[in-house]
Amino acid sequence: MHLVDLFYKIRGWTGKYRNIAFIVGCIIVSALSIIAILAPYIVPNNPYKPTAKPYIPPFTDSKYILGTNFLGYDVFSRLLWGTRNSLTVAIIAVTLAACIGIPLGLLAGYVSGIFDRIITLIMDSMYAFPGIILALALAFILGPGIINTAIALAVIYIPTYYRVIRGTTLSIKEQLYVEAARAIGASSIAIVTKYIAPNVLPIAIPVLAMNFADAIITEAGLSFLGVGLPPTEPDWGVDLSVARTDITLGIWWTSLFPGLAIFISTLGFLLLAEGLSEIISPPRVRK
């Protein structure tokens, strides 16, 4: 019994940790959102044009607090504007994927039959393909740009929503309240919209947050490889790509700060997803 009690205590501690993780995630995501919205008004220098001499070290000039890169671009200004671009790509990609994957999952799970088998085969084929390779191929075909990069990312996230929503729909449509609604003559549209969807959609909320984290790091990877955002666009991945050779010269700040931005933003959305998962499906802890 002592081992069982220890197990439940650990579960309780884990739950408390996840609440803290949710709060930290909310703080990070809120800060990123505020920066993205206010970026045009708070950037100290033009992020699209060189404004100083190259390689000014950080914290040595109050006008260029994080220094400049090899072309004289202000690292801090590009960092702030890169937040705006990264979140824009992530929002478009996740929204587009959810708007396609969730309805398909609901429809396939409820209708079943040949339609379900065909769509599931397509989605499983896409899901089995390495996501980064598929995104890389699509981004290369579509060309660089915010919208094109977002579309490439959305395609690799659609199967995730489809699989989650379809599996939950298959389970919920067998519940007694759904059978009762069907018995009193409710239409299929009414059953899906009033009885199934409200119980299915909350499951997708943590997936949304996780996809935001993945979209940010994947977009940075695509831009780093030259198939994401254009080289002239302020972006964390672009700046990391430009700074690849700076490390060998002892220039550390041009790659450190964009890398930290990617890490912190990804961590924030992952913590938010963990907290949302805890809120929506909390573990049962014995009292």
117-163 pLDDT, tens digit each:
999 999 988 888 888 889 999 999 999 999 999 999 999 999 999 99
Q: The domain 44-265 belongs to what CATH superfamily?
A: MetI-like (1.10.3720.10)
pTM, full prediction = 0.87
What is the C-alpha separation between 171 and 159, in angstroms, rounded? 18
pLDDT exceeds cutoff 80 at 11: no
Top-confidence residue, 61 or 280: 61
Which tokens sit at 60? Answer: 């040595």
What is the C-alpha separation between 122 and 125, in angstroms, rounded? 5
What is the C-alpha separation between 287 and 15, in angstroms, rounded? 13
What distances in angstroms separate CA 268 from CA 17, 94, 273, 275, one per listed residue?
15, 16, 9, 11
Q: What pLDDT does 176 receive?
A: 84
What mean pLDDT comes out for the span 63-90?
94
What mean pLDDT comes out for the span 252-260?
95
pLDDT exceeds cutoff 60 at 16: no
The enclosing H or E element of 184 equals none
The enclosing H or E element of 222 equals helix 197-224
* Domain boundaries of the chain, sorted by first residue: 44-265
Highest mean pLDDT among 29-38, 61-70, 187-196: 29-38
The enclosing H or E element of 265 equals helix 253-280
